[in-house]
């Protein structure tokens, strides 16, 4: 399982993210606070507070996780060190 943060600031961002998750063979969850939704559900994502970055958990093989992370790399929030 891999975890990272994404920032989805527009309707188009959410649409592209859901499209990428839908094409992923593995399960993808999005967490915001105490809520967890399926990343393949556009209605689920819109039910979250997207004003802040949300956490993404990808469950699957290393190849599936890498492919999904690459497809949503534009939304990934890089942590400051």
pLDDT per residue over 4-36, tens digit each? 999 999 999 999 999 999 999 899 999 999 999
Q: How many domains does the chain have?
A: 1
Give the global pTM.
Answer: 0.89
81 has pLDDT over 70: no
80 has pLDDT over 80: no
Residue 78 has a pLDDT of: 82
Q: Do the Cβ atoms of 17 and 8 come closer than 8 Å? A: yes
pLDDT per residue over 55-69, tens digit each? 999 998 888 889 999
- Biggest CA–CA distance in the chain, Å, is 34
Range of the domain at 68: 2-75
Residue 25 resides in a domain? yes
Rounded CA-CA distance 68/23 in Å is 8
Question: Domain with 8 in it: what CATH number?
Answer: 3.30.1340.10
């Amino acid at each position: 399982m891999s975890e990272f943060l994404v920032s989805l600031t527009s309707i188009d961002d959410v649409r592209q993210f859901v499209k990428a998750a839908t094409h992923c063979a593995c399960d993808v969850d999005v967490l915001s606070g105490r809520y967890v939704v399926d990343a393949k559900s556009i209605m689920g994502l819109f039910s979250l507070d997207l004003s802040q970055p949300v956490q993404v958990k990808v469950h699957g093989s290393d190849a599936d996780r890498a492919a999904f992370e690459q497809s949503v790399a534009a939304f990934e929030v890089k942590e400051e060190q």
